[in-house]
Amino acid sequence: MRELSLVFHHPDFYILNKPAGAPMHANDLEAGIVTQLAEQLNETLFPVHRLDTPTSGALLIARSSTSAAALSELFARRAIRKNYLAIAAGKPNKKQGLIKGDMVNARRGNWRLLHTQENPAVTRFFSYSLKPGYRYYVLHPETGKTHQLRVALKSIGAPICGDTRYGGETADYLHLHAWQLQFDYAGESFCITAPLPNYGLFNELPELDPTSTTDE
C-alpha cells in the first residue's frame, strides 16, 4: 500500500495530498483512497467530496460523522472555495474569464459542454505563459460537475496535458492538481495548500504565492 501524505491536521478533519492515480473507490487493484488512509492511521474516516482518479491534490476527509455532515453542508452551499492548477499545450481561444454551460454525458463516459445554461457548470480561470507552446491555468470551479475542469479547458481549445480522454497531449500523468481549499469552519478561517506533484511540467512552474487567489 502506498504511503499517503497529510498536509493538514485538525481535530475534526484531515487534508490529504492525494496522489495522481489514487482512486476514490476500490477497484481490482487497490482500495479506495479514504480506506487506504483509514488503514494507515488506524482511524475511521469519512469522505466529504471527491477528486477524479487521475487528479492529484487537496482532499478533505472528516474524522467523525458529525464533522462530515458539517463539511458536506459547506460543499453543498458552495462555501468552500477550490483552486486548481492545470497545464495545457496550445493556444486557448481566451486566456482568462468565465467558462459556463450545461454538461451532457457523451459516449464512453466522456462529457461535453453545451451553450445552454439551464443547470450550468461554472468555472472562472486565469492563464499564464509557462514556456513556448504551454500555459498554466489557475482554475476556480464555482460548481462541482463530473470532469468539469477537464471539459472546460477542452472547450477553449486547451485540453490538459495527460488528459487523452479529452484530446490532451500525451503525458505520464494528468496535469491537474487541486491546489487550495479555502473555507470557514467552527469559527476559524482556513486556506490550505497541497504541495505540487514532483513530475512532468509541474516541475517547470514558477514559484507560486499560496496566499494569492483567482480574483487577482
Domain 5-204, CATH homologous superfamily name and number = Pseudouridine synthase (3.30.2350.10)
Q: How confident is the model at residue 107 (pLDDT cuts 50, 70, 90)?
A: confident
* Helices marked H in the chain: 33-41, 65-76, 148-155
Per-position b or e across 91-114, b if 16+ CB within 10 A of its CB:
ebeeeeeebbbebeeeeeeebbbe
Compute the CA torsion angle 171, 206, 49, 16 (nearest 10 deg).
100
CA distance 83 to 90: 22
Residue corresponding to grid cell 486565469: 126
Looking at residue 212, its pLDDT comes to 62
pTM, two decimals, is 0.94
37: Cβ contacts below 8 Å, ≥ 6 apart: 4, 14, 16, 45, 61
Looking at residue 205, its pLDDT comes to 95
Nearest to 34 by CA among 7, 63, 56, 12: 63
Beta carbons of 75 and 142 less than 8 angstroms apart:
no
CA distance 8 to 42: 17
Q: 26-30, 52-56, 127-131, 154-158: which range is least confident on average?
A: 26-30
Active site residues: 52
Looking at residue 214, its pLDDT comes to 43
Looking at residue 211, its pLDDT comes to 67
DSSP assignment string, 7-53: EEE-SSEEEEEEPTT--SS--SS---HHHHHHHHHTS--EE-S---T
Q: How confident is the model at residue 216 (pLDDT cuts 50, 70, 90)?
A: very low
pLDDT of 215 over the 70 cut:
no
Cβ of 164: how many Cβ atoms within 10 Å? 13
Beta carbons of 95 and 137 less than 8 angstroms apart:
no
Q: Where are the domains of the chain?
A: 5-204
Angle, CA 214 vertex, CA 208 and CA 215 arms, to 5°: 130
Residue 83 β-bridge partners: 180
Share of the chain above pLDDT 70, in %: 96
SS3 content of the chain, % helix, strand, coil (to 5): 20, 35, 45
Q: Assign 86 to helix, strand or coil.
A: strand
Mean pLDDT of 197-214: 83
CA distance 207 to 199: 15
| C-alpha cell recorded at residue 72 | 458536506
